[in-house]
Amino acid sequence: MGFWHTFAMTRIAPAEFRCLFGTRAANFLFCVAGLAGLLVGTPLFSQDAPVPQDEPVKTLHVYANLIQIPTLVLDPQRRPLKKPIAGNRFSVSIDSGPWFRATHVRQEGDDPISLSILLDVSGDSSELMAEMNAAIANLAPDGLHAKDHVSIYALHCSLVQSLNDMPAESERLKIAVNGALQTWMQPELKCQQSIHLWDALARVVVDLSKLPGRRVILAVSNGRDQGSDHSWSEVRYLTEAAGVAVFGVTYVPFEAKDLQSKFLRWSSEDPFHSICELSGGMVLLSTTKSLEFTLHRFVTLMRERYIVEFPRPANSTEGIHSQEIRIANSKDFIRPSGVSFPIPDPSVLADPTTVPSDPSRTPVVGTRKPMSKPQ
């Protein structure tokens, strides 16, 4: 279980203003500023009145203070919403604390995505692989853009990675899928599977946790594990701790018109479905004919997620916290992604130039802690 240390919380040190903007989107996009020197009242000088050389340079420091949670919202039958939801209907609760109205809500739109695609060729999911290179390649450039970065893995005899955090470009994606599936496409090469689904997902989550942007896994799999060292609940905990949303695509051998009823009959106790939904995603079902449609639907679901924003709780503590998102007067299907937020740095709080947060304008962390890390 050596990967757990990856998510230990660290204190946030002051950062130069230029370091927080103009990069690929981070989980925390808004900041509060601590002014090292107040500029109000500073005298102005004409060009022939030089500034004294010994005057200290004013520096603006910014600190992460606003949390963003990507939240999947569908109607009660898991269908796309017919109209957008007003932002003032969203509220958040941390560790079952009091409900706090979200500060700002918007749809995700074209925010940069760090996407890892896992192709599990075991079982009947192999039925989808013959069309997979073209279906994934056709996601770019309309669905996936150059600012979205993609990694591709295949799970067969072992876990193979053929693309590592590269901009989404159609031909590159097609070549990477072919490379990942090369062993599978040579059935004469017999092998014994050395890694299984839950362990493979754990490895992909750890790799993805090191990347910026909205972190998402697309796992094409039948969802059945055949002997991993880690349990599905460990993988569930890991995805939540890393803020990674998992979407699944599972093969079904019947026509698209039957997919919706089949999905609604699917047991909520299925581990693969639980990993996906508890991480902020869901499982989509696909036939061989509907694969390209299903993958485009997956991208649409990502883009239409709501980004729910609120200030960092004033009484936040180190570690993992659970969060709930609710929408007033709604019975919609709501699945937020996990998030870890930085605790206040004591040196920053002690700095007399820091502008303190108003506790009355932040959520209050409750006393009910999330499920502990599985052993």
Which tens digit of pLDDT belongs to each residue from 95-141?
A: 889 999 999 999 999 999 999 999 999 888 889 999 999 999 999 99
77-285-189 Cα angle (round to 5): 165
Judge whether residue 258 has pLDDT over 60. Answer: no
Q: DSSP label at 221?
A: S
| Predicted pLDDT of residue 342 | 58
Higher pLDDT, 175 or 183: 175
Q: Does 59 score more than 90 pLDDT?
A: no
Count of CB atoms situated within 10 Å of the CB of 347: 11
Amino acid at 34: G
CB 24 within 8 A of CB 147: yes
* Domain residue spans of the chain: 2-42+59-107+307-361, 113-303
Tokens 């839950």 appear where? 198
- pLDDT exceeds 80 at position 262: no
What is the pLDDT, as a whole number, of residue 364? 84
For residues 190-214, give the mean pLDDT.
92
Q: 193 falls in which pLDDT band (50, 70, 90)?
A: confident
> Using an 8 Å Cβ cutoff, are 198 and 225 in contact?
yes
Task: Provide the mean pLDDT of the chain.
Answer: 79
Q: How many CB atoms neighbour CB 17 within 10 A?
A: 12
State the chain's maximal CA–CA distance in angstroms. Answer: 82
User: How many whole angstroms separate alpha carbon 168 and alpha carbon 367?
Assistant: 43
Residue with tokens 């004469």: 188
The pLDDT of residue 32: 33
How are beta strands 245-251 and 31-35 bridged, if at all?
Answer: unpaired
8-state DSSP, 119: E
Q: Do residues 120 and 158 make contact, with C-beta atoms less than 8 angstroms apart?
A: no
Within 8 A by CB and 6+ apart from 350, the residues are none
Is the pLDDT reported for residue 282 higher than 50? yes
CATH architecture of structural domain 113-303? 3-Layer(aba) Sandwich (3.40)
Q: Where are the beta strands (DSSP E) in 177-305?
A: 214-220, 245-251, 283-286
Residue 16 has pLDDT above 50, yes or no: no
Distances (CA, A) of 53 to 35, 38, 49: 21, 19, 12
Sheet holding 149-155, edge to edge: 159-167, 149-155, 113-120, 214-220, 245-251, 283-286
So what's the pLDDT on residue 226?
A: 87
Identify the pLDDT of residue 90. Answer: 97
Beta strands in 171-330 (DSSP E): 214-220, 245-251, 283-286, 306-311, 323-327
Which residue, chain included where needed, has tokens 């980004």?
307
Average the pLDDT over 159-184 and give the result: 95
Most confident of 35-44, 257-266, 283-292: 283-292
Position 328 pLDDT exceeds 90: yes
Q: What is the model's pLDDT at position 208?
A: 96
> Residue 269 burial by CB count (10 A; 0-12/13-18/19+): exposed, middle or buried?
exposed
Q: Tell me which of 72-81, 101-110, 310-319 is least confident.
A: 310-319
| Range 18-39 average pLDDT | 35
Length of the chain (residues): 375
What whole-number distance in Å separates Cα of residue 32 and Cα of residue 14?
11
